A and B are shown apart, each in its own frame.
Chain A
Amino acid sequence: MKWLALIFKNLRRSPRRSILTVLSVTVSLFIFCALASVPVVANQILADSASSLRIACHNKAGLAYGLPQAYKRAIAGTSHVVAVVPESWFGGVYHEVKDQFPNLAVDPEQIDVMWPDWGMSKEAVEQFKELRTACLVGPATMKRFNWHVGQQIMLRGTIYNFNLALNIVGMLGGKAPPSFLFFRRDYLEEAAGEPGFVDNYWVRVDQTSSVPKVIATLDERFANSSAETLSESEASFIGGFLENYRLFFQLAEVLGFIVVVTIGLVAANTAAMSIRERRAEIAVMRAIGFPSSAILSVIVAESVSMALVGGVFGCGAAYLTFKLFSVGTDAIGPLSNIHVSSAIVGETMLLAALLGTLSALIPAYAAARHNIVDALRLVA
């Protein structure tokens, strides 16, 4: 037996209490880990799009207001622009209302030029360009509805009062938003009676330094028109979209913190009770020569061990939760890719160690410094 064995033996002193303590820490760190993962994914999305060559151009009045499709030619003719893809939100559902996912109509000609980083196959893009009813689907949505390439599906309109029959010709690629579905805008236009409006334009420029110039040029060109534009970089556009979730992110962080602090207090109370029960035993150990520092270390190590086990279980539970239920989160669009990052695991484990240390430190310190003679009297 050495120190680790002594710590382990002490943890088995009251198995029920140890298990309940570990479980309470597990629950709190699961909640922390899960809630902390949400803003991290949002930040990752923004980081990924920071160096993008894409510009989003939409109505200055807001995304709810469209832009004339006639703008496409003018945008394409702007200096430094290499591709333009108009986009319209269809907002259809598959079967039930709960079967939501982002489905968008785009012009097919330049999607491969616009999103070369998404990893779409050449064949799928070619098919998409050839077939008017074609659609490309993200891998998560394919998996969610058990779809396969070649299948015909029916999207029920919620904004538009018609349904669309679509043929899956391929997948959007591994780097695309996993829940997206793209279909052809000319098909939507036809079904909607040729309204001639799009929700926004995606514009690709030749190099990063061209982004601000093209933004300025576009907004200047359409100034004082009936549909003035507001152009912004992809990072800014996604950031604006994610801004809608900001309150949720902040709430998540605050809730995670509150839960951890609450469980920390419960753990501290449990540690204090446990140490109090062992005061005489601790006094005996000190009487036979154990220094206060060794006693303190053993007790804190016990508490940290339990908290770390709780941390591992908490992170594992969060990982499994996102893994198992990721399919059901597709309705939240870009955030559907929530996962537990290694940074969050590290942060959670650090928090677990801190929780274990702080919850035991004060009662352990008191026990390790308690008068030996007084503590020994507790036995008599």
Chain B
Amino acid sequence: MADGYAVELEHVTRIYKRDEFEIRALDDVTVKVPEGHFVGIMGPSGSGKTTMLNLIAGIDHPTSGRVAVGGEEITGMKEAQLAGWRARHIGLIFQFYNLIPVLTAFENVELPLLLTALRKAERRSHVQAALNAVGLADRTNHYPRQLSGGQEQRVAIARAIVTDPTIVLADEPTGDLDAQSAEDILTLLTELNRRFNKTIVMVTHDARAERYVETIFRLDKGVLVGVESGRTPGLAAATHD
């Protein structure tokens, strides 16, 4: 991977047009996230956190600037290419879990594997491993409505890691959970980062997250206003220009 960075954003600006208004969601942001790091993007509502995550995930396009993930520049990719790229490199976790209600936990986790050439037995073993990693091996046949919020988010995390992506992106993963479940999810993400050396980029409002992430990028009104160390004071592994 080029330069050892999982994510590189260089002078990225994202402007949305809403009727006659232009909204500058991100303004000339430059960020680099080293491989294997667990970083948080924090800031008030409307600061551009989710926009930044969407750009890294390749589901949004910058108005200007360059985005590279895993050393691969995605800025110029077409939609079809991006879909394939996301399937291989990105694991996404959403605030409201976004599980498919008609599929069981097992089937939800299996969903991204339908895009691979894996055979049924191989898919099964990958899904079991992912569900084991999130501690839900005994909930494989449960539908989302039969799970608690914390369990649903664990299934969503299993779905995000089942393809062994280059990077896991989490958008407010604790935003819809009670305090205990939120702690559990943050602990789980930390374990994934440490045990499997997964690069994790997490957007959050949750102040507790500061204790779990290594680096915090603070955004305000689309501008990167600071980079702070998280759980390891004094170590700002990520950089910004």
Contact = CB atoms under 8 A, between A and B. Distances in A.
Decide whether A and B assemble into one complex. Answer: yes
Given A1-B103, A2-B114, A372-B59, A284 B86 contact: no
Contacts of A292: 79-80, 83
A12 interface: yes
Nearest to A284: B98
A3 interface: yes
A289 B98 contact: no
B103 A9 contact: yes
Contacts of A2: 114, 120
Interface string B75-119: 000011001111110111011101011110001001110110000
B73 interface: no
Contacts, number: 74
Majority SS of interface residues in chain A? helix
B54 interface: yes
Given A2-B114, A13-B102, A373 B60 contact: yes
Contact of A376 (B87, B94, B101, B111): B94
A294 B83 CA distance: 11
Nearest to A291: B83
Nearest to A10: B102
A71 to B, nearest CB: 77
A5 B103 CA distance: 10
A128 B12 CA distance: 100
A315 interface: no
A379 B98 CA distance: 8
B80 to A, nearest CB: 6
Interface residues of A, number: 27
A219 to B, nearest CB: 73
B159 A281 contact: no
Interface string A289-321: 111111000000000000000000000000000
B74 interface: no
A214 to B, nearest CB: 72
A285 to B, nearest CB: 7
B84 A280 contact: no
Interface residues of B, number: 32
A292 B90 CA distance: 17
B112 A9 contact: no
A159 interface: no
Contact of B84 (A9, A13, A291, A372): A291
Contact of B96 (A5, A12, A13, A380): A380
Interface string A349-380: 00000000000000000000000110010011
Contacts of B112: 288-289
A285 B94 CA distance: 12
A290 B116 CA distance: 11
Contacts of A291: 80, 83-84
Interface in A1-30: 1-3, 5-6, 9-10, 12-13
B57 interface: yes
A286 B57 CA distance: 11
A379 B88 CA distance: 25
A287 interface: yes
B59 A289 contact: no
A289 B90 contact: yes
Contacts of A376: 59, 94, 98
A6 B113 CA distance: 13
B84 A373 contact: no
B79 A288 contact: no
Looking at A9, A288, A292, A379, which has the most chain B CB atoms within 10 Å of its CB? A288
Nearest to B162: A288
Interface of B: 54, 57, 59-60, 79-80, 83-88, 90-92, 94-96, 98, 100-103, 107, 110-112, 114-115, 120, 159-160
13 contacts: A1-B110, A13-B102, A281-B98, A284-B94, A285-B100, A286-B83, A288-B86, A288-B87, A289-B112, A291-B84, A372-B59, A376-B94, A379-B96
Given A288-B92, A290-B87, 19 more contacts: A1-B107, A1-B114, A2-B114, A2-B120, A3-B114, A284-B94, A284-B98, A284-B100, A288-B87, A288-B112, A289-B84, A289-B87, A289-B112, A291-B84, A372-B59, A376-B94, A376-B98, A379-B96, A380-B95
